[in-house]
Structure 1
């Protein structure tokens, strides 16, 4: 893939949080500098059921095997969209390769351990220790609580937790490492890990304690192991009793084994005032407030549903948010805290949907969905948290109240006057009306495909004339609590002012989205708020092969950073033929490209003409001029596009001048 530079301003990556990033080795230094953090990564990923002695040895074996595997190769990187702050890409790449090797080994050992006790009896090439038992340093009650929480997670979830917290990586970079290590669903692992990390804000400091450091161990003779375990068990019991004292004002919740755990422990959220658990204090907007307000968002939603007066259900929902019981499944979109509300939240809905009793709450920056089996015999309760700060008439238009085999049922905003569905891959098909109950709940809408891409459902909504914003807009599901708003920016129109994003309901916008919809799957579960398709250039292809669109798709997340993909869309036989991805944002990095702060874009790729000949194609946005290609091919053009016959896979650097000053360059 090729870079797509924009205006030159320094920026920081989102892939690593600067305050958490592990110090990189000096240029030319041996990778031994990374031994300790890699050993900690392996130790956290391995199952606690191995016992501390074997877990320590296996962690060291994982790192030693990773070092012995040879030098890591240099990976291709897509440069940042603006002039980057100096960094050490070679060291980052080397460390990431070591992390992947360590994770692969640890995940294989976890799988082997779960197959039976035979593996536990085998040495499996572990470092040999005779007459001694190894163990990490004993921690306090907080460390024990975190260890217990991690034991409930799967190995991929523990690996994701370690990458996000101890290693300090961003979710995109962690997802990439997990995928390369063989994790089948890294998104699910990251979502679970992020919910635990949010519930334990001090986890980063705890993970760096001796409790989780296999390079700083205690040595004991083998005949003292049982005595040491008894002391640890007694200490844990004393800590649990002290922390669980009701007289101290902590709520005791049932544990998995029938015992008790405290809502103030490391796993659970902090204790909240009793007023926040009182359903009588839930805020509710007047039924017609949405029609006469300048703030058309979730604050204008009235409380709807037949169970809004069920105080017992509302109390269970509030209590689950304050301190989720062990059986409650808690999920949160990336970058979203699952902590209890600071003030009484707003009630949006309470009713029965698809066999579940559902409560929807809103507290200013987050929407929360609580669901439990209506008859008490179904799946355990679930709590889903999504970030929705600064939502508007389109991004606060719907939330998913039910997700199942029959599809997704949405709760619509009170200002939605018309509701229909359409298939993005069939732009010429008309939208189909969708039934909605009096409480605002839709009939099931098919979810976006997790595999394959034969269809891509979307909701087409029209707002009421009572709020002036009388227009249609599209939203689609990407696996989160709130659907994603789809927009479109048309191609530049000669000397006309720069175009602005608009609703993707017109014929040209729908045609463009038909060729881009399948690319949305790459952003599933990422907390995306809106995706805009910008046709930043159009190019007449050589050999009279028609006209191609150069499209930059930018996904804006609720937490701020954007993700981008650039496609070349030449003429195709099918209206739904996906465009060819020619550039993309590097994993774990933020970029201003294709936003109002990054309106200068340049991209290039090789392209095969109908005759079979290959060409170098390049195109820039409206203010890019005087393109020049150097390298395997030499060519120049005065306008924003360039085409030159070349070999397949041509490697060339294309430079363009930006009107008003500055230049852009992209290389292959």
Structure 2
């Protein structure tokens, strides 16, 4: 008797059919696994894991004489479609369980006994899906806030076209505890007119088979190679020569120190084309530019000043920025001459350092150091090279294809083209006035190369720090639509909103702000012919983490550049961020006819408002306007759709 006689004869035909279905549906299965896997894996590992899970689903399906039981709607074919559903279940089950595994790279024995690694082994390359348009990142952010099961339900309904009953059965078979909740969440996301979610999920942004390939971190690889060679040489020397020194207290060579990091020969340089072939688009992709990048004496002075500022040097640290010397040789971004000073720009992985000295002599030195944690394609797009009372020159990132300036107070005036040198240095840009005056609010309007993202323009506001502040905008919530996400502040509605917020930017100078988002969270009809009011929460996020919010009110009767009325302010709060998505605010308001009212408004999850104090009332809905005595003092509490309560943001 042969061992093969114990296997049912139907297994081999079923195995061939399962393999045929997997090959035919491979792209759809990989897309599903890629969407369900946690984004915390990173784009490269997520792609590899998706392909591995799909390929490993085949042995599990074909090795099972009775395929996994997946209930089917009545009247559905049972052959090929059952195999397809079984593969979906296996891929779903593995992807959902992936994040719960204690070790990222365990091995597994296939039924044949061969050792199979969890992921394909790739050396020297990073693989990730190609970038889509501007809507795909917004959808990806919304998906990241959903559970893995809800993401799966959304894809199965929108792209695979499966019914709710079928999706419910698939999720249940894959071990999802509450398939109904996942389906409900998916329906909320898909409530977008025109089937936009299905089209976006079918795009190349979510296609883990249409990949872009780039190198790994070349600088890190180079350092590791040098370290490996050094260790090997030290091992060889230790194996061939042993020196015993008795009673010698002279210290031997130590680990890399500030002195080693300050050596100009150790400075790191990035090749010119790296930004076009990497998934990490930040300061590490900047090449060394400027006419004096090979001036070792200049670089030595800059590095030693950062390591140990000499007496007489002016040192400026951004808020919450360490003054410690870099422990590793920093990356050289720029070294060149300006109008009256020589500037060197360095980056150590978390901080930017700008060294400058007099053009005529190596005196009158200045050093500015600022945090740039997790900078990205926008927040690493420009650095202030030098400034005076009226203007600033910027060094732009190599991926900037077009630059201009515009005045936020004039939203209907197009951006003016901005000239820049071959090294990426701009002509002087007017400085945003600091103080009480608000005649203009000049900002940079930059456009990324199409190799990064098509039609990607964004605004940066220079407020005195090394890195200008990224300005974004979140529009009013749409009825029956998923919550909007912050977007670039270059559209008409965004520019109109920022025209009323621009004057407040002057107070953020030299405070370490990374980005400011203006969120129009509510719209309200005002009594006594007051027109329409829009409530805005402007959140200023800092490089160090905490953020402040300012709530303001503007009306349709205001001039286009009139500053909005500030009604509330809060410091170091999560309000108006992804971790504080609900808000309610209130203010006293005098109508054009001279009557006083209490106004209150809340974000989309607010279902009712209760007022106490100068007036008392309770109303359903997101807004209210109540007659009140002059300059009323009230407390407002909102009722949320989740069943909780929320106090209004405190008044200034």
Fold shared by both chains (TM-score > 0.5):
yes
Number of the residue aligned with 1:645: 627
Contact kept? 2:458, 2:488, Cα under 8 Å: yes
In 1: Cα distance, 2:641 partner to 2:455 partner: 38
In 1: Cα distance, 2:557 partner to 2:366 partner: 45
Counterpart check, 1:578 vs 2:560:
no
Contact kept? 2:531, 2:557, Cα under 8 Å: no
**Of 598, 615, 629, the match for 2:580:** 598
Residue 406 of structure 1, CA deviation: 4.5
**Of 434, 452, 468, the match for 1:467:** 452
Counterpart check, 1:415 vs 2:399:
yes
In 2: Cα distance, 1:447 partner to 1:272 partner: 39
**Of 410, 419, 424, the match for 1:440:** 424
Mean Cα displacement is larger for which, 440-449 or 645-654?
645-654
Number of the residue aligned with 1:365: 350
Once the two structures are superposed, residues 535-556 of structure 1 have per-residue CA deviations (whole angstroms, 9 ceiling, x without a partner) of 1111011123211010000000
SS of structure 1 residue aligned to 2:430: coil
**Of 372, 390, 395, the match for 1:388:** 372
In 1: Cα distance, 2:257 partner to 2:545 partner: 29
- After superposition, the Cα gap between the structure-2 partners of 1:577 and 1:633, relative to the gap in structure 1 and judged at 3 Å, is same
Q: Write out aligned runs for 1:504-543 (5 A).
A: 504-543=489-528
In 2: Cα distance, 1:381 partner to 1:630 partner: 59
**Of 521, 539, 555, the match for 2:540:** 555
Counterpart check, 1:609 vs 2:585:
no
Residue 573 of structure 1, CA deviation: 4.0
- After superposition, the Cα gap between the structure-2 partners of 1:279 and 1:648, relative to the gap in structure 1 and judged at 3 Å, is same
SS of structure 1 residue aligned to 2:601: strand
Residue 637 of structure 1, CA deviation: 2.2
Counterpart check, 1:564 vs 2:546:
no
Number of the residue aligned with 2:23: none
Structure of greater relative contact order (alpha carbons < 8 Å, 6+ residues apart)? 1
Residue 469 of structure 1, CA deviation: 5.6
- After superposition, the Cα gap between the structure-2 partners of 1:248 and 1:354, relative to the gap in structure 1 and judged at 3 Å, is farther
In 1: Cα distance, 2:351 partner to 2:309 partner: 17
Counterpart check, 1:658 vs 2:640:
yes
Counterpart check, 1:424 vs 2:403:
no
SS of structure 2 residue aligned to 1:650: coil
Number of the residue aligned with 1:623: 605
Residue 301 of structure 1, CA deviation: 0.2
Q: Write out aligned runs for 1:302-313 (5 A).
A: 302-313=287-298
In 1: Cα distance, 2:504 partner to 2:638 partner: 28
RMSD: 1.8
In 2: Cα distance, 1:272 partner to 1:531 partner: 38
Residue 470 of structure 1, CA deviation: 4.1
Contact kept? 1:292, 1:467, Cα under 8 Å: no
Contact kept? 1:636, 1:642, Cα under 8 Å: no
Number of the residue aligned with 2:86: none
In 2: Cα distance, 1:644 partner to 1:568 partner: 17
Residue 296 of structure 1, CA deviation: 0.1
Contact kept? 1:272, 1:340, Cα under 8 Å: no
Contact kept? 2:258, 2:327, Cα under 8 Å: no
Number of the residue aligned with 1:136: none
Unpaired runs of 5+ residues, structure 2, are 1-248
SS of structure 1 residue aligned to 2:599: strand
In 2: Cα distance, 1:516 partner to 1:538 partner: 16
Residue 355 of structure 1, CA deviation: 1.5
Contact kept? 1:272, 1:322, Cα under 8 Å: no
Residue 480 of structure 1, CA deviation: 0.5
Q: Which runs of 4+ in 1 moved over 6 A?
A: none
SS of structure 2 residue aligned to 1:564: strand
Residue 467 of structure 1, CA deviation: 1.9
Once the two structures are superposed, residues 463-485 of structure 1 have per-residue CA deviations (whole angstroms, 9 ceiling, x without a partner) of 00112364000000111010000
Residue 635 of structure 1, CA deviation: 2.5
How many residues align structurally? 398
Number of the residue aligned with 2:385: 401
Q: Write out aligned runs for 1:317-396 (5 A).
A: 317-376=302-361, 380-396=364-380
